[in-house]
Homo-oligomer: A and B are copies of this chain.
Amino acid sequence: MSETGRSTRERILQAAGKLFYGEGIRAVSVDAVAEKAGLTKRTLYYHFRSKDDLIAAYLEIRDQPNLALFRRWFAEADGDVAAKVEAIFRNLARSARHPKWKGCGFLRTSVELVNLPGHPAMVVGRAHKKRVEDWLCSVFEEAIALREARQLARQVVMETAGAAAAHLVRGLMPAPRKSIKVAKGRRTIRPRIG
């Protein structure tokens, strides 16, 4: 692809990202994305075969940056693994106070496509959540047994979804502080609340 082609594609994805994340994938038409990108619909369809492909690509480019953000929050926190996981929730709550925050784009897209489990964006969404879980699992494996690490990782991913969902439904509120106990031979996590 030419340099121009690449930058056109990026412009479309940037416009799609702002509109899809800000308003939802069904609320936003391909016309609106083309208009925001300053292009004709014909040009948009030269780069993306369909709206469905555009939605999948919108999530695809969020995959690595999102995972990198979780990893950075984890790496920059002081303390043991438990304190570092706690930092993820603290950072998530801080992000949720931003006026442009509208929840998890992956979760929201899955909700909007609930009746289409085979949709390419659903595949991307599942793969993203799996990648976050795999990363957490590899982190926990150093502290606890393999099978328990997987379960704990799944639980933490589930709780981030719950926190995001609660923010969305109930409006902005501080997320409960979490204290998660990760210790050799234990399979207990303790969200301390209050």
List residues of chain A with CB under 8 Å of any chain B CB: 22-24, 26-27, 102-103, 106-108, 110-112, 114-115, 117, 125-126, 129-130, 147-148, 151-152, 154-155, 157-166, 168-171, 176, 187-194
Which residues from B are CB-within-8-Å of A165? 107, 158, 161-162, 164-165
Give CA–CA (A103, B27) in the complex, Å: 20
Q: What's the least CB distance linking A157 to chain B, in Å?
A: 7
19 A-B residue pairs with Cβ-Cβ distance under 8 Å, sorted by A, are A26-B112, A102-B114, A103-B114, A107-B111, A108-B111, A108-B114, A110-B168, A112-B112, A129-B170, A158-B162, A158-B165, A159-B159, A159-B162, A161-B169, A162-B162, A162-B163, A188-B190, A188-B192, A188-B193
Q: What's the least CB distance linking A26 to chain B, in Å?
A: 4
Q: Which residue in B114, B157, B187 is a CB contact (below 8 Å) of A193? A: B187
Q: What's the least CB distance linking A11 to chain B, in Å?
A: 23
So how many copies of this chain end up in the complex? 2
Q: Which residue in B111, B187, B192 is a CB contact (below 8 Å) of A111? A: B111
Which residues from B are CB-within-8-Å of A159? 158-159, 162
Give CA–CA (A108, B114) in the complex, Å: 9
Q: Which residue in B27, B114, B162 is a CB contact (below 8 Å) of A161? A: B162
